[in-house]
């Protein structure tokens, strides 16, 4: 399933831990908004790992699951992120 993840983590040390977690799921981390394709189990594992790292009063992570209609309405200009995701896949 496709997910959109937005991250606001102002403290550098926590942000670096967050990046390592995302990278362990082969999610590109060049931006504060990322897209990824995960199984339901992977999404649950990712959420649990992220909850252990963030400070809920200071940080914010949002995980969106686009509905099928919304996925069909996506307009993509360029292929940089798709190409990067393919090169980082296991």
Structure confidence at residue 87 (pLDDT):
58
Domain span including residue 39 = 2-88
User: Could you write out the DSSP letters of every residue in the chain?
Assistant: -EEEEEEE--SHHHHHHHHHHHHHTT---SSSEEEEE--HHHHHHHHHHHHHHS-TTT-EEEEE---HHHHHT-----SHHHHHHHHH--
Whether 89 has a pLDDT exceeding 60, the answer reads no
Alpha-carbon span 43 to 47, nearest angstrom: 6
Structure confidence at residue 71 (pLDDT):
82
pTM over 0.95: no
CATH number of residue 60's parent domain = 3.30.70.240
Each residue of 24-82: pLDDT tens digit? 999 988 888 888 999 999 999 999 999 999 999 999 999 999 888 988 888 888 877 56
66 and 4 Cβ atoms separated by less than 8 Å: yes
Q: How many domains does the chain have?
A: 1
């Amino acid at each position: 399933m496709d997910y959109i993840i937005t991250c606001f983590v102002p403290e550098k040390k926590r942000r670096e831990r967050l990046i390592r977690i995302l990278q362990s799921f082969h999610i590109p981390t060049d931006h504060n908004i990322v897209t990824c394709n995960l199984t339901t189990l992977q999404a649950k594992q990712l959420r649990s790992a992220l909850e252990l790292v963030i400070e809920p009063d200071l940080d914010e992570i949002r995980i969106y699951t686009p509905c099928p209609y919304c996925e069909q309405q996506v307009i993509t200009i360029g292929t940089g992120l798709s190409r990067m995701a393919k090169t980082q896949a296991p």
